[in-house]
A and B are shown apart, each in its own frame.
Chain A
Amino acid sequence: MIASIARKEFSEIVRDGRFKWTAGIMALLLLTALAAGYQKYSAYMDIQRMSQDQTNAQWLNQGDKNPHAGAHYGNYAFKPAGPLAFFDNGINNYAGTALFMEAHKQNFAIGRPATDQSSIGRFGDLSGAMILQLLMPLLIIFLGFTAFSGERESGTLRQVLSMGVSNRQLLWGKALGIGGVVLLIVGLCVLAGGLALSLTGPSTESESLGARATLMALSYVLYGGIFLFLTLAVSAWAKNARTALMVLIGFWAFAGFLAPKAAVEISKAIHPTPAFGKWMADMRSHQMRGFDGVPPFVRFEQESREIFAEYGAESIAELPVYVGALRLQKFEEYDFPVFEQHYGQLRDSYTNQRRLQDRIGIVAPTLPLRSLSMALAGTDLIRHVNFADAAEAYRRDMVLKVNNYLGEAAASLNTGYGGGNVLIADEAIFAMVPPFRFDSRGLQATLAEHAGNFIALMLWLAAALGLALWSVQRLKVEED
């Protein structure tokens, strides 16, 4: 019985002239978005790889110079786009792409594509994810809001129920029929996109591409299911079709547009992001006065006895390493806790904001889905933070290596300082710093962080289903 209801629902929708239009537009947009996304993604990745190779070569061929000057010349980390960025570009437009790694300074990734875009870019990206997050629910609402209310208005509901169909059977049949139509449109496009992608060959080292895509598909199916059952629930509950439509569109606009922005503002009010000027001034003055209130130059003087003792020396002359290099490295290390505190504070505010936004997802399913989708695409905040962390670790290692080298190779400078006796490093020396490579944390870590969002989607689906079952149970056959 369920099957024949589903079949009837399916063919009724598909035969409707309006369906062809809606489906056609939806498919066209989705294919455009996927094609544009893929084109941007591959262009970005080509440039990213090329730039990373170039910067590595530049590091090696920077010319013969003092090794510490080499650390000032530094190196760049360029952020890879994320394995499924062509589908969901996530925060990529709003996060930096190039991170300068140099002596003495921890830097932000700079070069946000959004600053090189017209202000209209703030309306959002036309991406596969955007279409599935915002347009798919509306499609489901359009196809399903008359499921019960329409039949009641045309009087066929009484007939159907008099044939011995249970209310629940009717619900499942309609859900299957409408769900089938949506899957047909969306699924075909996504398949086409996937096929095109596999033919041209994804250029990233997979990063568990298959698992990511599967989980992504699952999340969107859950999300579609939520809107499907909500639509059916409201359709069964509402007095007439137009009330059902208004309620559903209201909810859709709330979940898709209002709630995300409201969640952002609320999270910013509770966990404020420091303004750039304030943050920069705080950090730099902290750096200058020293982490514990002792300026670096003073601290080095105070601690010099202990520092020399580590090398079994009592004075500079006895040191087996070059004191200049030693001091450079110590200064470097004095700054670590300052950077950790201030960059950490900023990162914590981001993380807390994101978590709060996810939690607000309890009132709007678009929020947890959006987070999940970005995470699976590898275009989320966590991955960006991982990237910045990896770059900082690389920077510290790079500086340590050159300073250590300078310390050992220039040890004779302690006693015989004079013009001309200056240490120069060449390509072979700079080669001791390996090229930068970003290995993102695996899928598992991503999943652990986003378990809450999966649960939120499940809860939403359960609630929507419960609501639908409850609504059809008290389904009125006649209009009042």
Chain B
Amino acid sequence: MKRIIISHEARQLFRSGAFRALLLMVAGAVAFAAWSGQRSIDRQVEGANAAIAFEDGRRGKMRADTEQYQAQVAAEGGEYQFASAQHAPGAGPPQGTNAGVVGSTTAKYLRMPPTGLAPFSIGQSDIQLSYVPVSMNPTMYITKDNELENPVNLMTGSFDIAFVVIFLLPIFILAISYDLLSSEKERGTLAMILAHPISLRELMASKIIARAGVLLAGVLVLGIVALLAVGTNLDLADTWARFGLWMAATLLYALFWFAMSVLVNVYGKNSAANGIALAGTWLALVVVVPTLVSLLATTLYPAPSRMELTTAARQAQTEAESTYMARLSEYYYDHLEFVPEGDERAMDFLTVAMANRNAIEKAVRPLYDEFQSQLNLQESLVQRFQFISPAIMMQLALNEISGTSADRYEHFLNQAYDFRVEWSEFFTVKFLQRAPLRPQDYDQLPAFEYREEPFATVLMRLVPSLLGMLVLLTGAILIPFLRLRRYQVATS
């Protein structure tokens, strides 16, 4: 009997024009989202490549100059010398021999590679750069720049697959299941069906199985097609593991919304009332609660103002300047080209400039740490409050799975901060010793390789969100299951 109902329901669904139209819309939305997610990631990669090529190119030019200089020294005799820092091109050893100049005027761009599933959930990757510059400049320069996206576009947010799953999928689910029982009741067919050897629970389950089966099969197919189309690193187990997690999360989330439909249906109201209740639930859980949680987080743990930080950094700069520099030094500080060639002082000015930067770094660092700690407090509040909305849990989970979460970004930045120390150390030592940089020194520059987090760490961070959804889902199934006993089959 159950099987008959399931197959009947499935056939009915496919015959209904509205359902086919809905399925087509889901497919269209997924295709559109995959396309736009892909564009977004391509753009990031293009930007990273250009930035890396530009800065590496500038260092490459300096290396070529030293090569030429080395050849010249070898041919003409004489000593391979250290150049004083200058702004204007001039005679003498090339600037590339001065480690201080190379280290402070060129940067090394470090990149965090996108995961295989990155186009699925853009997260904050449209604002935060996935490639950051490291140089002898203070740490704050690493995160100074943002992606150049139009603020209106950032405000609106990405049309990525995460959006389709979190926002649109529930609407489609509710549209095909909001009148699960109520429509049969209104047509008077419910009493007739129940005259057959089937219980109300079984009927309900059959109807849901038919709908969920059809829809989720569709989602699975669409997901695999999307992965093959826009996913990368398809040969890596990591990508497929992430995809499996993605499917599991989507399944939990979709079933939650089916359960909500059932929950509303067992209260025996008419179809229109069910529709209102479900639309209201969707609005509350997907739109209102997340904005409220965000409001709570930013109100309880507001980040210090960037404006205050700016003026504080300037204060530190002024103080550093007045302590470290004589008036004459200040004059040369920004324009080393005014220093006569070969004047020993030129070195001192770059040294002073570096000492100065150090002072600023020290003064401003605590302020920057405060930003990170407030942000961490906000994130942990969101972690705690996520359980009141499956949409929040889902967004956190999908960002995590796609590798666009705040935690992974912090993991990347910490590596960049560590690398900055190593990188500037290389140049500082050579500079302070006045050791001329030779072509072969350029080959010894510290290399950066992004170390991915262990998969277990990612899984651990996913557990609360997935578990939360599971608990919510169980609750949403249990309540109607118990209540169905009291369902009135016919309108009185």
B306 and A116 within 8 A (CB): yes
A145 and B50 within 8 A (CB): no
Chain B residues positioned under 8 Å from A279 (CB to CB): 47, 148
**Closest Cβ of chain B: how far from A285's Cβ, in Å?**
7
Chain A residues positioned under 8 Å from B276 (CB to CB): 142, 245
The yes or no answer to A446 lying at the interface (CB within 8 A) is no
Within 8 A of B (CB), among A254-293: 257-258, 260-265, 267-269, 272-282, 284-285
A242 and B314 within 8 A (CB): no
A422 and B395 within 8 A (CB): no
The yes or no answer to A135 lying at the interface (CB within 8 A) is yes
A346 and B148 within 8 A (CB): yes
**Closest Cβ of chain A: how far from B123's Cβ, in Å?**
6
Known: A55-B314, A69-B334, A118-B378. A123 touches B155 (CB 8 A): no
A384 to B152, CA, bound (A): 11
**Closest Cβ of chain B: how far from A128's Cβ, in Å?**
12
B155 and A91 within 8 A (CB): yes
Chain B residues positioned under 8 Å from A103 (CB to CB): 334
Chain B residues touching A, majority SS = helix
User: Interface code A90-111, partner B: CB below 8 Å = 1, 0 otherwise?
Assistant: 1101111110100100001011
A249 and B279 within 8 A (CB): yes
A258 and B147 within 8 A (CB): no
The yes or no answer to A349 lying at the interface (CB within 8 A) is yes
The yes or no answer to A156 lying at the interface (CB within 8 A) is no
Chain A residues positioned under 8 Å from B399 (CB to CB): 119
Chain A residues positioned under 8 Å from B309 (CB to CB): 111
A interface residues, tally (CB under 8 Å):
107
B318 and A62 within 8 A (CB): yes
The yes or no answer to A246 lying at the interface (CB within 8 A) is yes
Known: A51-B310, A94-B154, A250-B175. A276 touches B287 (CB 8 A): no
The yes or no answer to B315 lying at the interface (CB within 8 A) is yes
B interface residues, tally (CB under 8 Å):
103
Known: A76-B310, A249-B279. A275 touches B272 (CB 8 A): no
B405 and A275 within 8 A (CB): no
B47 and A276 within 8 A (CB): yes
Chain A residues positioned under 8 Å from B53 (CB to CB): 281
Among the 9-residue stretches A160-168, A308-316, A350-358, the one with 4 or more Cβ atoms under 8 Å from chain B is A350-358
Chain B residues positioned under 8 Å from A44 (CB to CB): 305
A241 to B280, CA, bound (A): 17
A-B contact pairs, 12 of them (CB 8 A): A51-B305, A54-B311, A61-B318, A63-B322, A114-B154, A119-B405, A246-B175, A273-B153, A275-B46, A277-B47, A277-B49, A422-B331
Residues on A facing B (Cβ under 8 Å) = 29, 32, 36, 39, 44, 47-48, 50-51, 54-55, 58, 61-66, 68-69, 72-73, 76, 78, 90-91, 93-98, 100, 103, 108, 110-126, 130, 134-135, 138, 142, 145-146, 150, 241-242, 245-246, 249-250, 253, 257-258, 260-265, 267-269, 272-282, 284-285, 297, 324, 346, 349-350, 353-354, 357, 380-381, 384, 419-420, 422-424
Which are the 6 A-B pairs with shortest beta-carbon distances? A275-B47, A111-B306, A277-B51, A277-B47, A281-B54, A116-B303
Residues on B facing A (Cβ under 8 Å) = 29, 32, 36, 39, 43-44, 46-54, 88-89, 109, 123-124, 127-129, 131, 143-159, 163, 167-168, 171, 175, 179, 183, 270-272, 275-276, 279-280, 283, 287-288, 290-295, 297-299, 303, 305-311, 314-315, 317-318, 321-322, 327-328, 330-331, 333-335, 338, 371, 374-375, 378-379, 381-382, 391-392, 395-396, 399, 405-406
User: Given known contacts A69-B335, A98-B307, what 13 new A-B pairs fall within 8 Å (CB)?
Assistant: A51-B307, A110-B306, A118-B379, A120-B395, A138-B283, A142-B279, A241-B272, A245-B272, A262-B159, A268-B153, A277-B131, A278-B47, A285-B54
